[in-house]
Chains A and B, each alone.
Chain A
């Protein structure tokens, strides 16, 4: 880099984060990350003159291409309106997460049977507003410009709106996941005026029976009212979030039609996780074959155009031949985000690679007494998750690029090993796995307060 770190214009449009593959450029207007290779990174940082002939050879480029790249980056303002963040790049992983998942409070007026965070009442130790704002400031300094807020029910937190306001002022893009019941006209207008980009509303059924079995009978009408309020006042993207459970696997097309009728822009599917209250509801958890059939049914809906709505498939499922052309690996392509592209902050400020492991497991520290950057780079649990790459079967699996090892929560739940075989693996049925096959053992990150396990 030819420029000193942390420099740039007073009001930058872009932020550049040096990374091992080059750099990540965040566009504060479009609210998107762009992955830059070393050539593009060097040009953003120092112009075409920063590109040496050796770099051109190494990256199989040409002087002509470098000039074209410079012209493009000049035209979009990347060479003049970029603030370059301090170089904290690591040889093998991101220097900071792309995104933070933040559960703002455990408070929730609903009582869903499958709640992953076991939410009900607020924890008296939840972060104060000042503490919340402080970690968002850290995110901006790290170059982490996305936060996904959930809970509990985030709209039940009095800190939600000032928190969103602060995040957006620091260029941290906000998406919100809510059960929808508290989206009054007033709240819909406030969300619209703040500029929240995406609002996700949980829709796990298509009528009061299918919805109510998990989320409470009679509750759907309040969700529908919330969606209608939002649709009336809010121009951003409204997504339905559907958790695949045994209660809805046979009605996926009906859920899509229901969401379309309500005016959702897209429907995102993910599978129920054995976490929180769902751990006590084994009948909600699909079997392997049920899950595979459900993903096949979803793939069919995608193939016929989503029935008029954009469909987002479950994160890193094993689709095999069901859907070879359907994108299932998002962001930078690591598969599971935990420790690789994101981490989670729970309402009391504890930081974990994945919050679905429960409130006390794989905690790397608390934002009250440890910096977010330090946790990302040195947190023991975070590093352990960053090193996960799937089971031994995954090493030679032809579908590895379609899943990259699957869900480590499921693997851990089924085998006690984070690098165990995902029980929903499409290619390898765990039931037929040889019993004497040696298991890969990843050094377990410690449970908070306990001695590390070797």
Chain B
């Protein structure tokens, strides 16, 4: 597995900040998907 593939496949959010956040448009409790399925791509610098 190349480093690129490894990076995008293996990288998991390191903190709650990088997990998918709550959508305020949603009403009622809804089970969030696991981070393995969906996560927000963090941006640190730009």
Give the residues in chain A near B25, CB-CB below 8 Å.
Answer: 76
Inter-chain contact total with CB atoms closer than 8 Å: 113
Report if A299 contacts B (CB, 8 A): no
Whether A33 touches B38, Cβ cut-off 8 Å, given contacts A146-B46, A270-B45, A334-B7, is no
Q: Is the CB of A40 within 8 A of B33?
A: yes
Q: Mark A27-67, 1 if CB is under 8 A from B, else 0.
A: 00010111111011000000000000000000000000100
Give the residues in chain B near A270, CB-CB below 8 Å.
Answer: 45
Give the residues in chain B near A25, CB-CB below 8 Å.
Answer: 38
Q: Is the CB of A34 within 8 A of B44?
A: no
Whether A404 touches B32, Cβ cut-off 8 Å, given contacts A34-B41, A76-B26, A312-B44, is no
The residue that A330 contacts in the complex, of B4, B23, B43, with Cβ under 8 A, is B43
The residue that A33 contacts in the complex, of B36, B37, B40, with Cβ under 8 A, is B40
Give the residues in chain A near B11, CB-CB below 8 Å.
Answer: 329, 332-333
Give the CA-CA distance A33 to B13 in the complex, in Å: 13
Give the residues in chain B near A175, CB-CB below 8 Å.
Answer: 46
Q: Mark A118-155, 1 if CB is under 8 A from B, else 0.
A: 00000000000000000000000000001010000000
Give the residues in chain A near B14, CB-CB below 8 Å.
Answer: 325, 327
- A74's closest neighbor in chain B, by CB? B30
From B3, B15, B21, name the one whose CB has the most chain A CB atoms within 10 angstroms. B3
Specify the main secondary structure of chain B where it touches its partner: loop
Q: Is the CB of B37 within 8 A of A327?
A: no
Q: Is the CB of A334 within 8 A of B8?
A: yes
Give the size category of A's interface with B: 35 or more
Q: Is the CB of A268 within 8 A of B45?
A: yes
Q: Is the CB of A21 within 8 A of B9?
A: yes
Give the CA-CA distance A30 to B21 in the complex, in Å: 10
Report if A386 contacts B (CB, 8 A): yes
The residue that B23 contacts in the complex, of A76, A94, A387, with Cβ under 8 A, is A76
Q: Is the CB of B8 within 8 A of A333?
A: yes
From B18, B26, B42, B46, name the one whose CB has the most chain A CB atoms within 10 angstroms. B46
The residue that B36 contacts in the complex, of A37, A72, A198, A386, with Cβ under 8 A, is A37
- A342's closest neighbor in chain B, by CB? B46
Q: Is the CB of A32 within 8 A of B41?
A: yes
Contact sample, A vs B, 21 pairs, CB 8 Å cutoff: A20-B5, A21-B5, A34-B20, A34-B40, A35-B38, A37-B38, A68-B33, A69-B33, A69-B38, A71-B31, A72-B33, A148-B46, A198-B46, A268-B44, A315-B45, A327-B18, A327-B42, A331-B41, A333-B10, A340-B7, A404-B3
Q: List the interface of chain B (C-beta within 8 A of A).
A: 2-5, 7-11, 14-15, 18, 20-21, 23, 25-26, 30-33, 36-46
